[in-house]
């Protein structure tokens, strides 16, 4: 059987495509791309002409049988999305799950992802984080999701589109107004910007300079401060006292 290569592609700067990714894209029999027109620009830049077929959220389930047949016939296939790492808020999960179930080889070719790129330079804790994908489009649902995460101590990370960024900052201002937030915009591109502040401060920045509201965003929110468990501390002081008394230490 052939191998499915899950290939990460640039999130803006074409120089971020790895040497290995370029070699794989040039060597496979077919490339399954989220949007073939979009990806033909990348392949053109690389001088690669390999047959492409589309694999997006509306046809993925139907494509699985077809791609499995190509692999069964011994063809290697690369899966790419419009930007970054496939399956990360992008198509591919249904295909990869099916191929794993069939015991077909699936090989990741790592590279850019907006999630990790943003976290690596934001200055927020990265030892533990929670990636929430895209927040719901509807205001009520968006608020509910954020309220459910209010006590979470991990750094929160979301993807956001330019037409909803102000709404999201409004919701954050309502749900966690004091929280430090970092917006990473246009990563790896000419107008890459990191902005930090409370939700209200950031909202003001974007409203006063509409250029700052353009492009693609990663929204990162510092986690909640850990709550000190006073009861636990009292218990341990008590336990210590008893232990000392049991040892015959005069207190």
For residue 58, what are its two tokens? 């509306």
* Closer residue to ligand SAM (CB): 70 or 217: 217
Residue nearest to ligand SAM (CB): 84
Q: If 0-12 CB within 10 Å is exposed, 13-18 middle and 19+ buried, where does residue 209 land?
A: exposed
Q: Are strands 155-160 and 217-221 parallel, antiparallel or unpaired?
A: antiparallel
Q: Which listed residue (32, 159, 171, 176) binds ligand SAM by CB under 6 A?
A: 159
Q: If 0-12 CB within 10 Å is exposed, 13-18 middle and 19+ buried, where does residue 83 land?
A: buried
Q: Are strands 77-80 and 4-7 parallel, antiparallel or unpaired?
A: parallel
Stretch in the footprint of ligand SAM (CB under 6 A) among 17-25, 101-109, 193-201, 216-224: 216-224
Residue 84 in contact with ligand SAM, rule: CB under 6 A? yes
Residue 224 in contact with ligand SAM, rule: CB under 6 A? no
Q: Which listed residue (60, 76, 173, 216) binds ligand SAM by CB under 6 A?
A: 216
Residues 184-213 that bind ligand SAM (CB under 6 A): 184-189
**What's the rounded Cα separation, in Å, for the pair 151 and 84?**
30
The binding track of 114-133 with respect to ligand SAM, each residue x by CB under 6 A or -, is xx------------------
Helices 60-72 and 93-101 cross at an angle (nearest 10°) of 40
CA 147: distance to chain centroid? 20
> What sections of 19-138 are H helices per DSSP?
19-27, 36-46, 60-72, 93-101, 114-122
CB under 8 Å, gap of 24 or more: what pairs does 227-232 form?
none
* Closer residue to ligand SAM (CB): 205 or 224: 205
* Closer residue to ligand SAM (CB): 71 or 83: 83
Q: Which listed residue (46, 48, 88, 195) binds ligand SAM by CB under 6 A?
A: 88
Please identify which residue in the block is written with the tokens 């207190």. 251
The binding track of 43-82 with respect to ligand SAM, each residue x by CB under 6 A or -, is --------------------------------------x-
In the sheet with 193-197, reading across from the earlier edge strand, the strands are 129-134, 155-160, 217-221, 181-185, 193-197
Residue 5 in contact with ligand SAM, rule: CB under 6 A? no
* Closer residue to ligand SAM (CB): 79 or 149: 79
How many residues make contact with ligand SAM (CB under 6 A)? 24
Q: Which listed residue (80, 180, 217, 222) binds ligand SAM by CB under 6 A?
A: 217
Contact residues toward ligand SAM (CB under 6 A) are 11-12, 81, 83-85, 88-90, 113-115, 159-161, 184-189, 216-218
């Amino acid at each position: 059987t052939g191998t499915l290569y899950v290939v990460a592609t640039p999130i803006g700067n074409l120089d971020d495509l790895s040497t290995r990714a370029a070699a794989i894209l040039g060597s496979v029999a077919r490339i399954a791309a989220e949007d073939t027109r979009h990806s033909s620009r990348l392949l053109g830049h690389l001088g690669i002409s390999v047959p492409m077929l589309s694999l997006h959220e509306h046809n993925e389930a139907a494509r699985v049988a077809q791609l499995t047949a190509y692999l069964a016939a011994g063809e290697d296939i690369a899966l790419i999305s419009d930007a970054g790492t496939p399956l990360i808020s992008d198509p591919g999960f249904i295909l990869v799950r099916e191929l794993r179930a069939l015991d077909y080889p699936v090989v990741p070719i790592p590279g850019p992802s907006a999630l990790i790129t943003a976290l690596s330079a934001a200055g927020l804790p990265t030892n533990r984080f929670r990636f929430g994908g895209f927040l719901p489009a509807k205001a009520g649902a968006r608020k509910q999701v954020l309220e459910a995460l209010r006590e979470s101590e991990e750094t929160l990370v979301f993807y956001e589109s330019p037409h909803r960024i102000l709404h999201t900052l409004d919701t954050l201002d309502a749900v966690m107004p004091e929280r430090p937030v970092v917006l990473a915009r246009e990563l790896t591109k000419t107008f890459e910007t990191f902005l930090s502040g409370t939700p209200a401060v950031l909202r003001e920045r974007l409203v006063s300079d509409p250029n700052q509201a353009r492009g693609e965003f990663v929204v990162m929110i510092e986690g909640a401060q850990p709550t000190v468990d006073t009861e636990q501390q009292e218990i341990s002081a008590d336990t210590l006292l008893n232990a000392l008394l049991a040892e015959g230490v005069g207190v």
